[in-house]
Copies of this chain bind each other. A is one copy, B any other.
Amino acid sequence: MGGPEIERLIGLLAKLPGLGPRSARRTALRLLQQPEARMLPLAAALAEAARAVRPCGLCGNLDSADPCTICTDADRDGGLICVVEGVGDLWALERAHVHRGRYHVLGGTLSALAGIAPEDLNVAPLLARARAGGVREIILALGATVDGATTMHWLTEKLRPLGVAVSRVGQGMPMGGALDVLDDGTLAAALRARQPL
Contacts and interface: CB of A to CB of B under 8 A. Distances in A.
B43 A46 contact: yes
Interface of A: 1-6, 8-9, 12-13, 15-19, 23, 25-33, 35-36, 38-53, 61-65, 68-70, 86-88, 90-91, 94
A12 B69 contact: no
Q: How many copies does the complex hold?
A: 2
A68 to B, nearest CB: 7
Q: Binding site of A, secondary structure by majority: helix, strand, loop or mixed?
A: helix
Contacts of A16: 27, 30-31
Contacts of A31: 16, 46, 49-50
A72 to B, nearest CB: 12
A41 B43 CA distance: 10
Given A18-B27, A29-B88, A29-B91, A5 B35 contact: no
B50 A39 contact: yes
